[in-house]
Chains A and B, each alone.
Chain A
Amino acid sequence: MKLLTHNMLTSHVRGVRPGGGFPLRIQATEVKVNNVDFNQEFVARMIPKVEWGALLEAAESLGHLSDLPHQLPPEYENNEDFLRKVHHVLLEVEVMEGILKCPDSGREFPITKGIPNMLLSEEEET
């Protein structure tokens, strides 16, 4: 599971307050780092689509925060240095084994071989 994917995932357990299921807390037991071709434009255009705070939190929990700033720097589109760091956390860091935890309900979703299992039981479905 890449962090870009994680940024879109939310818990959907019944009873969770609106917005309370995001972001899922990551407890990783195995993390892999890949090489992915850097595409500056791709990263620059993806940034507005992600929840920046959640991305930072996720990166930090995996120890890959490096020195990403809390606020987006102005005119980041041309800041290659910055974009490379974002590229790294978005696409190159992968959680292979671990758990995703709903911040509201505490419900745990396992990640096995890089694949999160988000299936709910019948009682948990809204």
Chain B
Amino acid sequence: MSDIEEASDTLAEVNLDDTLKPLTENLESDPNSSLKDIVVTIGATVPTGFELTAADEVKEKLGSQSKISKDRGKIYFEISLEKLSQVHRLRSVDNLFVIVQEFTDYQFKETKEDTLKDLEDLVKKLPWTDPLKVWKLNTNLKKKKTKHKKQNQQSSASKEKLNDDGGKDRANQKDADKELLDHAQNTPDLKSAEQNTEKTQEIIVADDQSDGKDEFLTITGNENQAGDCKKGEAEDQVLKFRVTCNRAGDKHSFTSNDAARDFGGAVQDYFQWKADMTNFDVEVLLNIHNNEVVVGIALTEESLHRRNITHFGPTTLRSTLAYGMLRLCDPQPTDIIIDPMSGTGAIPIEGATEWPSCYHIAGDNNPQAVKRAANNICSLLKKNQNKESGTSWGIPIDTIQWDICNLPLRTSSVDVIVTDMPFGKRIGSKKKNWDLYPACLMEMSRICRPGTGRAVLLTQDRKCFAKALSKMGHLWQKGHTVWVNVGGLHAAVYLLKRTLERAGEKRSYW
């Protein structure tokens, strides 16, 4: 059976449950299907509460409609394989995976033993072929980016360390990987993907700089050895894998560990892969939420949520959350967007990266925070610098040290305010918030442009915020509220619109 025919067969199986509501895409592939015609379902984890924002971004950047899972914080959408590299351009997603199969109403057996046996048996019945193709393609795309990155960056001690670690298994794998790489480079359909790697490059590079040191070691290890292995003869790939299981629901007779272990055992028997909890190639995901079971393969190695940040502070916001908040206020070109309590600058930096036609200002009263923000901006500048020769490039962002209760800004000079307000837990205190929040809202209303201005504010201290806001109905009109989960705390993101009324000046600058 030819590769294509095999793909066609399994494709019929892969998609889709009725509930997934397939798009206009034609799922009956003909024998001459190419990457363009193979449609896969991608799952993405997003900050809880921002599912709609993420779906919006998917629509905008990939043209696909999304389904939002009942299991909060996940969305699903379909794309044709040729668009795969573009999913890495999504800024509102933390992790991506390709769906192997989704069961919307899985019937679990009565006993634990039976249930687990069932899951084991499931392995050989699943349509692995296409999802694995996606995984392979994705891995190749990442390798290309790594090659780019390696040419641009200085070597570090960690790379040298890994050179010594070459084991027999890794050597085999590298040969196979190199083969895949060669194969991939010969595939014409990847041309469009290649054009995108330039843009997507920055995601991997940022990951590298962030706390994902392990990933850096893994990636560069691959690259080094692939480069060194001149002969690529090994045909079989001894892949390493692990199974990650997330389980939620009251009526299950088993734990996520049970499921991961047994499912993993069956996967190992079926594929003859090697199980490895830390240095894996393939991460199989088993997500169980009541009666909804989703089997997937991870496409991201570590969460994308810490991109752009190299210097962390005590409360650094996830970049995906920062992106979601910025998107909520619908930035327009030339909007002046400030974060008056920016900490390490997560929000303005995300803003400057994604909305470069706006102008971003980060401000904080804390000298360490200001320093960290400046360092993060420096890292971002260096990253941009790599592509050019010598000249230093700028980005539309500035940092200032100031006091939010007394902002040194002209009245009505700012279009958008986006900030993560002190929860009163890691920073400040609930007691301080009673004075701080009203003062903040007041000062923010002064600098914000009446009529068109808006603010997006994240806080966990909802009571205090509601009270402070209730006294300012004449200046701030409450819009949409998004309920989110930040580090285990139930928080809210408030969208406020600045009314036409001019702020009463207790001190008039202008």
Contacts and interface: CB of A to CB of B under 8 A. Distances in A.
A18 interface: yes
B357 interface: yes
Given A8-B413, A19-B509, A34 B392 contact: yes
A4 B359 CA distance: 9
A21 B334 contact: no
B408 A11 contact: yes
Interface string A110-124: 000111111110000
Contact of B396 (A19, A36, A94, A116): A36
A94 B392 CA distance: 12
A2 B507 CA distance: 26
B407 interface: yes
B398 A2 contact: yes
Contacts of B321: none
A12 B394 contact: no
Contact of B399 (A11, A49, A114, A119): A114
Contacts of B357: 39, 41-42
A116 B394 contact: no
B356 to A, nearest CB: 8
Contacts of B399: 114-115
Nearest to B415: A49
B374 A115 contact: yes
B413 to A, nearest CB: 5
Contacts of B394: 2, 34-36, 91-92, 94
B333 A41 contact: yes
Contacts of A115: 370, 374, 399-401
A119 to B, nearest CB: 6
Given A35-B391, A42-B357, A119-B365, A126 B402 contact: no
A39 B359 CA distance: 12
Given A22-B410, A22-B509, A46 B334 contact: yes
A9 interface: yes
Interface in B178-210: none
B296 to A, nearest CB: 39
Interface string A15-31: 01011011000000000
Contact of B334 (A10, A34, A49, A92): A49
A118 B408 contact: yes
Nearest to A9: B408
Nearest to B411: A10
B406 A120 contact: yes
B270 interface: no
B452 to A, nearest CB: 11
B374 A113 contact: yes
Contacts of A34: 392-394
B409 interface: yes
A10 B509 contact: yes
Nearest to A116: B400
A119 B413 CA distance: 19
B336 A12 contact: no
A2 B360 CA distance: 11
B406 A126 contact: yes
A126 B402 CA distance: 14
Which of B336, B391, B408 counts the most A-chain CB atoms under 10 A from its CB? B408
Contacts of A19: 508-510
Interface of A: 1-2, 4-5, 8-12, 14, 16, 18-19, 21-22, 32, 34-37, 39, 41-42, 45-46, 49, 51, 91-92, 94, 109, 113-120, 125-126
For the complex of A and B, list the 9 residue pairs with the smallest distance between their C-beta atoms, beginning with the closest: A34-B394, A18-B508, A118-B408, A36-B394, A45-B334, A5-B398, A118-B402, A117-B401, A126-B507
Given A1-B400, A10-B509, 10 more contacts: A2-B394, A4-B359, A18-B508, A36-B395, A39-B357, A41-B334, A46-B359, A49-B336, A51-B410, A114-B374
